[in-house]
Structure 1
């Protein structure tokens, strides 16, 4: 065998030839390939534009792709109808609400039965909203409404689980009928007109108006269906197509805030940037919890400014698509731009308003480069084709040899790239510093109070918003007083009744009382049995004596003479309007509540509160009426902790302790709110589950056959045994120990839980309930921590939360 050798000169020549070929290849690549970035905030139409590029310049949308889009379209229908039903709850709009009410003047509405609901300044400005809210609350809210549409609405809330068995390929006939009934309802249509107040897909009417066609067994989505289908972009997608001699590589990236940190690595060698703005979102309320002051259009402008003025792009052609002009033109008919942008003083027509928004974006550019702009409707193929041809001409011109820009100052680009990498690294570290906590539990267990304690102990407290709690406090007092009056009637308790003194004084005379009342009650034999049997408890005697006395009249002779008038005043309280109408109590109302709470019969009624529904903190406010009835009373932190406001949406609270950022999500615990939970189950660092021990003697509001603690145990079982949380630490707060201890003095746990055989103490009863919670957990290897808590006691909860924080960090 032989071998050949090469000299150093030969090696040098070979290396130089390779470099030349690589350089030539790169030059060819630079002149034959164009890299486009498709940027913009969420739901501006980027993915739709990409579909149009494939349709116009690529291989089109294949049969397989159209078939694959079917399940996404059906899911869009289900998501849209559920969003509308939830919005009917949030906006308080009854089904069947007539949209022609919008044509009525405030004066005409005021003459109707709703005149008392127009007292607030905001309601006078929006009388139709006030009228809708009045009717909604009058009918008993979402659960209280009856009729075909209300039943259909409750059905569609579970429609996605119904069609999940068919992989979203088919909607059953009864579900189709329910969806159509809800969508065609006049109240739903009015709600849709207010869609700027909640998150709803823009293509909602496109699909809901055509449910019959889409739900056919042989349905094959059309190209227009595919263009209107909403599939959330959660990753980077690259689409390649060739036009003449130029190959285009288009990168579409997710626009939501959490995904923007992934943009930077794609900033190199960009030939052009297409930035999309949804101009129709000018009236949309902000969806992000991070920046509540920015509408989507303002958010888009800030992102555009950051991209447009980036040193890497100071000579890169920018093409601005002001998209969704079809929706924009429709909204301008009934939504004034000046209502959302005070600086706008032009006519509310398409030409003037669109020019205003275009100029708002153009003026943020710091570099002397030209920005091409187009008003577009991304779902209109014919219009987009003409615009994309113009865009292609811009890109071809920018790639010609006379227009290729090579920056001699390469250090700037290198420095910028280094900064980008540093920023990406910083973003990753910031994510690692974040801790996501989920605060779960059934209704009225104290979750919101614990969230307030987080803010008080680790956050900024309530300094800026204390005055906002005045109305909820006054409303809570009024509602509690009215509840007590109703309970006195339902439980047959006379005002002025004092069981300790009356039973002692009149036990020998009960037979005489029975003879007076027997004609009314017809219960003499039962009375004799209850009173004279040794097995009868003192509480049972008190209940029966109260029942006998109330037949003689609701007021005992010794009761306050002013009390009947006070009761009538409280009965007249209108608590259907919500707390914003309760800035203060009148002197008459305040005196009535004080008289009511001072009555011995009402105090006895309070001890039996497990038999009706009233907030646990009612006594806190009633016992301090003198302070709360003062028009100038100052709200304290303890007042806020005791204030009950029903959680009907998801709230996120952020605070930083040392180097960690805690994100705590609190969601409504009522049965109707739990369907919102699942979307927050991802990336959870720890679960805090709150159960109220003080509810052991109460039944559920939604179901009077289920004990409230058992409801909490069943819910805990489904949460703790969810595979998603197989290794997620769970922190169990057995809350309301103060109420629990108070009730144990007069209530035996065994009355409600026959399997309880221990002493009726906080320790033994608490351990009994703790064991019930622990035994339903399917994953015993999972970390679980338990605490007996009183959420309103800041001193005690502070030490518990500090321990919890250390557990989470560990």
Structure 2
């Protein structure tokens, strides 16, 4: 059987469709409609062109935020949300549970120290409160948690309820114990007992935090401590530049996540707690935290993938360092230190310890002494970091 095929003339698909037997009135309406459609199309084209030009003006910058655990990386990200983001409102409610956990953890460490150091409470009635805390094996176990992380603290509603219940159960004991001179004496051994830097801040504000309608302030959130696990990407726009900042956990068990992010980085912000010269790692009590930071800095800066990457060094927690130097000698922990125990000499010494790590003299390095919980200071430093990144981009482009 023979087959035949028929070809249907579809016309030019780009030409406007003209109905057959079109009346003059229909033609007039069609032409008006086509004019409006063309005008609308041209407006869209202009908008797309403007958006493209605007996007071309904007540049992306990729930054890695690195450093040992508890160096202040998360605090810097909170500051960026305040200064160049949408603020902290979206996470305010969730940080309430973190504040409660921070306070419980602090008092647990202090009461453990009373026993470990062989002290006796000055206020006799506080013994019952001490015994109440001693019944807690740990705050994590009391809340049935394996670990406190940003992810868990933000998502687990049950953790919120459990933390509130545990806090309310112990708040009277916390208030009573914080007023005991022996507990204050234990606080002076904060570095030895693993007490968080923000412990005094929260314990001094215990009455405000204990109110039924309590909601954390920006300062509370900046002071709150919670562990980062894995890698988190954060985007901020600063002076027409989109910054992609990657925050990675500083705990030793988390550092294997770092390497894949070393490629195509505009700059590294490395954070070190300069106040941690008398502390040891939580994961290894035989390793000094400052020594660990310096060794980590050495490894990163001399990594082959980082040879041409600018480094911005934040020597953080200078406020804590200044206070600590009034009663702790740096030379007791760093015998090579020969200067006096004054802030200027100590910071100069530690800055040089980091700068001596560089194997290449051509490395572009910028150093800032920071107080990451101070928003006013961080505004200035963030602006400086933006200038540094832009200047380095111009240098790479051969424009300067």
Where on the TM-score scale, by shorter chain, does this alignment land: which range? 0.7 to 0.9
Q: What is the CA-CA distance between 1:32 and the residue it aligns to? A: 0.7
* CA RMSD in angstroms, aligned pairs only: 2.4
Asked if 1:195 is matched to 2:190, the reply is yes
Distance between the aligned counterparts of 1:217 and 1:366, measured in 2?
A: 56
Map of 1:149 onto structure 2: 126
Map of 1:184 onto structure 2: 179
CA deviations 1:330-371 (Å, max 9, x no partner) are 000010111111111111111011101001110111122121
Distance between the aligned counterparts of 1:230 and 1:331, measured in 2?
A: 20
Q: What is the TM-score with the length of structure 1 in the denominator?
A: 0.39
Asked if 1:211 is matched to 2:206, the reply is yes
Q: What is the CA-CA distance between 1:255 and the residue it aligns to? A: 0.2
Q: What is the TM-score with the length of structure 2 in the denominator?
A: 0.77
The answer to whether the 8 A contact 1:171-1:215 is kept is no
For the residue of structure 1 that corresponds to 2:296, the secondary structure is helix
Distance between the aligned counterparts of 1:53 and 1:362, measured in 2?
A: 26
Distance between the aligned counterparts of 1:380 and 1:241, measured in 2?
A: 19
The answer to whether the 8 A contact 2:94-2:160 is kept is no
Q: For 2:308, which of 312, 315, 330 is the aligned residue? A: 315
Q: What is the CA-CA distance between 1:45 and the residue it aligns to? A: 0.3
Map of 2:243 onto structure 1: 248
For the residue of structure 2 that corresponds to 1:169, the secondary structure is helix
Asked if 1:342 is matched to 2:328, the reply is no
For the residue of structure 1 that corresponds to 2:235, the secondary structure is strand
Asked if 1:299 is matched to 2:292, the reply is yes
Instruction: Say which one has the larger Rg.
Output: 1
Q: For 1:83, which of 101, 109, 115 is the aligned residue? A: 109
Q: For 1:332, which of 314, 325, 328 is the aligned residue? A: 325
Q: For 1:394, which of 372, 388, 393 is the aligned residue? A: 388
Map of 1:57 onto structure 2: 84
Distance between the aligned counterparts of 2:159 and 2:126, measured in 1?
A: 23
Q: What is the CA-CA distance between 1:171 and the residue it aligns to? A: 5.8
Matches within 5 A, 1:121-520: 147-157=124-134, 161=142, 166-169=161-164, 175-289=170-284, 292=286, 294-367=287-360, 368-400=362-394, 402-404=395-397
The answer to whether the 8 A contact 1:254-1:260 is kept is yes
Alignment CA distance shift 1:266-1:86 (3 Å): same
Q: How many residues align?
A: 329
CA deviations 1:725-779 (Å, max 9, x no partner) are xxxxxxxxxxxxxxxxxxxxxxxxxxxxxxxxxxxxxxxxxxxxxxxxxxxxxxx
Q: For 1:95, which of 90, 106, 121 is the aligned residue? A: 121
* Structure 2 unmatched ranges of 5 or more: 1-6, 10-51, 144-157
Map of 1:34 onto structure 2: 61
Q: What is the CA-CA distance between 1:197 and the residue it aligns to? A: 1.2
For the residue of structure 1 that corresponds to 2:172, the secondary structure is helix
Distance between the aligned counterparts of 1:47 and 1:272, measured in 2?
A: 18
For the residue of structure 1 that corresponds to 2:331, the secondary structure is helix
CA deviations 1:437-476 (Å, max 9, x no partner) are xxxxxxxxxxxxxxxxxxxxxxxxxxxxxxxxxxxxxxxx
Q: What is the CA-CA distance between 1:174 and the residue it aligns to? A: 5.9
The answer to whether the 8 A contact 2:58-2:242 is kept is no
For the residue of structure 2 that corresponds to 1:167, the secondary structure is helix
For the residue of structure 2 that corresponds to 1:168, the secondary structure is helix
Map of 1:789 onto structure 2: none
Alignment CA distance shift 1:392-1:330 (3 Å): same
The answer to whether the 8 A contact 1:234-1:254 is kept is yes
Alignment CA distance shift 1:2-1:211 (3 Å): farther
Distance between the aligned counterparts of 1:92 and 1:157, measured in 2?
A: 14
* Structure 1 unmatched ranges of 5 or more: 4-24, 98-146, 406-810
